[in-house]
């Protein structure tokens, strides 16, 4: 687990985009797992900039989104289909046929979820899974109490999650009660994970994720067991970390070693 503490949201966005860009240049047919929400927007903007100014090529990338609200059609302005195309996909050269996002209007949810799991495996598995984290420590829509071995499925949202997401809707009553989400087990199978967090409202969740016990109450805590995990958080999100100084020290040492000639 590599923990990178940065000054602010802008630096978090730049550093996370750099990680994605490096992996993409190394493997042009990268399979990306992608999140929505306010946290990754800055990263997407940086990747768009790299595409337009430096020729970062997404033409062979396959992407799988973490989740989608159950009951919303792809053209609904609050759907994650709409979010991804508006904030990212419309601005890069990814092929539409290589974009996979859970379908909130699928007639048979179980059949669709099984298909989604199969499609991820068919594409060789996710190379890099980018994640945000909820205030209660959830990843995807895997709310507290979710099985750590869970797969893609419909999940009922907590009132806290609905309250947090109500800022995107006209009123809280419009927020769906359920979502299709990759499971914890699905996420954990990614070859590498990159978790992002910004703001003091995420500080408690970040501390539990990194330093707390592995627990179904903080579903992000399973990432402690992942063999290849990068966590990038800003100062506000890192404020509760007990070993914050040590994490900064190890990061300085890593940067020093990279700078020294070999």
Per the annotation, the verdict on 57 as an active-site residue is no
CB-based contacts of 13, cutoff 8 Å, min separation 6: 41, 42, 43, 45, 46
Residues 191-211 have pLDDT tens digits of: 999 999 999 999 999 999 999
What CATH number does the domain containing 166 carry? 3.40.50.1360
Per the annotation, the verdict on 67 as an active-site residue is yes
DSSP E strand boundaries for the chain: 2-6, 31-34, 62-65, 67-69, 99-100, 128-131, 153-156, 178-181, 192-197, 229-234
Rounded CA-CA distance 33/126 in Å is 6
Q: What is the mean pLDDT of residues 230-244?
A: 98
**H helices present in 6-62, as ranges:** 9-26, 41-54
- Of 68, 117, 127, 143, the catalytic one is 143
Cβ distance 94 to 157 under 8 Å?
no
- Of 81, 117, 127, 138, the catalytic one is 138
Q: Which pLDDT does position 262 carry in this prediction?
A: 47
Per the annotation, the verdict on 143 as an active-site residue is yes
Q: Residue 186 belongs to what H/E stretch?
A: helix 184-188
- Of 51, 67, 234, 236, the catalytic one is 67
Residues 72-128 have pLDDT tens digits of: 999 999 999 999 999 999 999 999 999 999 999 988 999 999 999 999 999 999 999
Task: Assign 148 a pLDDT band (cuts: 50, 70, 90).
Answer: very high
Q: Which pLDDT does position 258 carry in this prediction?
A: 78
Rounded CA-CA distance 232/40 in Å is 11
Rounded CA-CA distance 27/3 in Å is 24
Whole-model pTM: value is 0.95
- Of 136, 189, 234, 236, the catalytic one is 136
Residue range(s) defining the domain that contains residue 10? 2-259
Find tokens 């927020």 and name the residue: 175
Find tokens 């990159």 and name the residue: 194
How many domains does the chain fold into?
A: 1
Rounded CA-CA distance 183/150 in Å is 5
Cα Rg, the chain, nearest whole Å: 18
Rounded CA-CA distance 163/125 in Å is 33
Strands 128-131 and 67-69: unpaired
How many CB atoms are located within 10 Å of the residue 114 CB? 14
């Amino acid at each position: 687990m590599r923990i990178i503490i940065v000054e602010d949201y802008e630096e978090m966005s730049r550093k996370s985009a750099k990680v994605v860009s490096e992996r993409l240049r190394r493997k042009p047919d990268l399979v990306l797992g992608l999140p929505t929400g306010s946290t990754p927007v800055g990263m997407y903007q940086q990747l768009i900039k790299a595409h337009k100014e430096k020729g970062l090529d997404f033409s062979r990338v396959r992407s799988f989104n973490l989740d989608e609200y159950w009951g919303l059609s792809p053209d609904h302005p609050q759907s994650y289909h709409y979010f991804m195309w508006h904030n990212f996909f419309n601005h890069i050269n990814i092929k539409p046929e290589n974009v996979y996002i859970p379908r909130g209007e699928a007639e048979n949810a179980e059949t669709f979820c099984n298909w989604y799991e199969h499609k991820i495996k068919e594409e060789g598995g996710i190379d890099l899974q980018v994640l945000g984290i909820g205030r209660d420590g959830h990843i995807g829509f895997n709310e507290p109490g979710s099985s750590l071995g869970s797969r893609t499925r419909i999940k009922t949202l907590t009132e806290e999650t609905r309250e947090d997401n109500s800022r995107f809707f006209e009123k809280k009553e419009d927020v769906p009660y359920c979502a299709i989400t990759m499971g914890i087990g699905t996420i954990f199978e990614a070859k590498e994970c990159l978790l992002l967090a910004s703001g003091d409202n995420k500080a408690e969740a970040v501390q539990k994720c990194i330093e707390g016990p592995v627990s179904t109450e903080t579903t992000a805590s399973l990432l402690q067991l992942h063999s290849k995990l990068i966590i990038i958080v800003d100062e506000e999100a890192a404020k509760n970390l007990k070993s914050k100084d040590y994490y900064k020290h190890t990061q300085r040492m890593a940067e020093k070693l990279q700078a020294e000639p070999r």
